[in-house]
Amino acid sequence: MTVNVVLTRDSVCMGDDSYAPHRQDVTFDGATTLGDLVTQVADYPLRMRGARWAVFLGRNRAEGSPIAEVSPEWAGPRFLTGADPLLPLTALVAVDGELGVYFQYHPGSVPLAGPPDPGRTALDPLAGRLALWLAERR
């Protein structure tokens, strides 16, 4: 089974707005893990110095659930507490066969919580939404 992943992101300036919406469709094997997905699409948002992107499962941050943070200044993604990077995409895909991944821009590459080196961290107060979102999908 393949999963169509729909990537979207925030615009970061007025000039960037002229290219919106920033949609990109990518196809993954359903056995791909959530951790592999985030690692492989971490370069999708603009690679700006001093930028941090919150990664949400869902078409936007309002309907989605935060799962990770990425920055071009870090060695790898930081998964939130409660996000299982070993979960296969088939466990997350919607009825229509698509999985939305939304990137929310934050100026500054310092994470909201956790150590300065890549590792598991929580994205307060959004971490609780992840458990709720996963429970609704099962």
Compute the average pLDDT of residues 2-31. 82
Query: What are the C-alpha distances in Å from 107 to residues 1, 44, 49, 53, 112?
Result: 37, 17, 9, 8, 11
Average pLDDT for residues 34-55, to the nearest whole number? 88
Least confident of 34-48, 75-89, 112-126: 112-126
Span 53-69, average pLDDT: 87
pLDDT tens across 101-138, in order? 999 988 765 655 445 544 444 444 455 566 666 666 65
Residue 119 sits in a domain of what CATH number?
Answer: 3.10.20.90
Look at residue 103 in the predicted model and tell me its pLDDT: 92
The whole-chain average pLDDT of the chain stands at: 79
The reported pTM is 0.75
Task: Give residue 61's pLDDT band: very low, low, confident or very high (50, 70, 90).
Answer: confident
CB 27 within 8 A of CB 37: no
Angstrom distance (rounded) from CA 130 to CA 138: 13
Could you give the CA distance from residue 25 to residue 113 in angstroms, rounded to a whole number? 30
What is the domain range of residue 121? 2-137
**Share of residues in the chain with pLDDT > 70 (%):** 72
Q: How many domains does the chain have?
A: 1
